[in-house]
């Protein structure tokens, strides 16, 4: 599929994507973390986990034994409420232990409802929408001034894209020709209570980013091979920042969560619900985190 496909085509492709066993396993870890905390933004984490899987497994340079390694690539989850997905990948890459996941949102725990820079592997505390992307732009400008080789990646939400600071930062990134910067838009087209089309329509989204001076590619955000191929082409153009519009499904992989606005965030989840969530993913296996 190429960038000329229609919005309908991209949306359908994301909905129809079959998840491989690794993507199912990572989703089971997300559900287990939710179960331990009995709260959180589960569907958002399910929306971005495949993107994070590819970034951490195949694209970014880092050293878990030295989280502040100078030559590491920087990643900022600007839509910080999707943090469980990042926490899972940090555990998978040994920045933290899986046992920390099971303490999620408990008193005195390392991992809370939004990422904090005190967590190994987290570059910046996020949660206030529209803040992470401007910081990523600052990181990229600093790297360019220092002539450093590391790259900066950030994921923003489609709902977050209504923040003016997103577009101010985009103008700045274009002005300074930050080709070391990649912004990934998690385009699941669903906000807390309705769709992006009803609340604040972003279309034509690709054209908007192009008009702000970005080199733009669109991708099925649940197609691992397509994600790898797209990231491997960075930078898309010399002297332009990069934008990847990832078409995703909020709650992907669990039918009872997909398109269900009532699950955007849960502050209390009955234990009986978890059997249904695991069933959609093939059932919990203790070997999932071994």
Going from N- to C-terminal start, the domains of the chain cover 7-289
Q: Which of 282, 243, 226, 257 is nearest to 44 (CA)?
A: 257
Of all residues in the chain, what percent are helix, strand and coil, respectively (each to 5)? Answer: 45, 10, 45
Q: Give 200's Cβ-side CA count (13 Å radius).
A: 10
Burial class (CB in 10 A: 0-12, 13-18, 19+), 137: buried
Nearest to 150 by CA among 260, 68, 254: 68
Distance CA 182, CA 137 (A): 9
Q: Which CATH architecture is the domain 7-289 placed in?
A: 3-Layer(aba) Sandwich (3.40)
* 221, 186 Cβ separation under 8 angstroms: yes
The count of residues in the chain is 290
Burial (CB < 10 A; 0-12, 13-18, 19+), residue 138, is middle
CA distance 144 to 137: 11
Rounded to 5°, the CA angle 254-29-112 comes to: 105
> Quick check: helix, strand or coil at residue 124?
coil
Using DSSP bridges, classify how beta strands 242-247 and 181-187 pair: parallel, antiparallel or unpaired.
Answer: parallel
Q: What is the pLDDT of residues 50-90, one digit of tens each?
A: 999 999 999 999 999 999 999 999 999 999 999 999 999 99
Q: 195 phi and psi, to 5 degrees?
A: -90, 160
pLDDT at residue number 195: 95
Nearest Cα to 57, choosing from 71, 69, 75?
75
Q: Which ranges of the chain have pLDDT less than 70?
A: 1-4, 290
């Amino acid at each position: 599929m190429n960038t000329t496909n229609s919005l309908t085509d991209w949306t359908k492709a994301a909905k129809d994507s079959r998840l491989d066993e690794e993507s199912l396993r990572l989703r089971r870890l997300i559900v287990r973390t939710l179960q331990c905390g009995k709260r959180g933004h589960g569907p958002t984490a399910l929306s971005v986990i495949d993107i994070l899987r590819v970034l951490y497994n195949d694209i970014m340079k880092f050293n878990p034994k030295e989280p502040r390694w100078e030559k590491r690539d920087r990643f900022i989850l600007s839509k910080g409420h999707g943090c469980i997905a990042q926490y899972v990948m940090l555990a998978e890459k040994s920045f933290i232990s899986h046992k920390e996941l099971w303490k999620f949102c408990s008193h005195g725990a390392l991992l809370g409802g939004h990422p904090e820079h005190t967590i190994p592997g987290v570059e910046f505390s996020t949660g206030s929408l529209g803040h992470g992307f401007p910081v990523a732009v600052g990181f990229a400008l600093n790297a360019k001034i220092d002539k450093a080789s590391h790259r900066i990646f950030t994921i923003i939400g489609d709902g977050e894209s209504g923040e003016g600071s997103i577009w101010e930062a985009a103008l700045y990134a274009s002005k300074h020709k930050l080709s070391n910067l990649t912004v990934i838009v998690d385009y699941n087209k669903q906000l807390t209570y309705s769709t992006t089309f009803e609340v604040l329509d972003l279309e034509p989204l690709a054209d908007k980013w192009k008009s702000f001076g970005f080199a733009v590619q669109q991708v099925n955000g649940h197609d691992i091979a397509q994600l790898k191929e797209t990231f491997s082409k960075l930078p898309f153009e010399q002297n332009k920042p990069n934008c990847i519009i990832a078409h995703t499904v909020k709650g992907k992989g669990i039918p009872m969560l997909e398109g269900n606005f009532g699950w955007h965030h849960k502050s209390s989840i009955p234990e009986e619900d978890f059997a249904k969530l695991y069933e959609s993913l093939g059932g919990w296996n203790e070997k999932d985190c071994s």
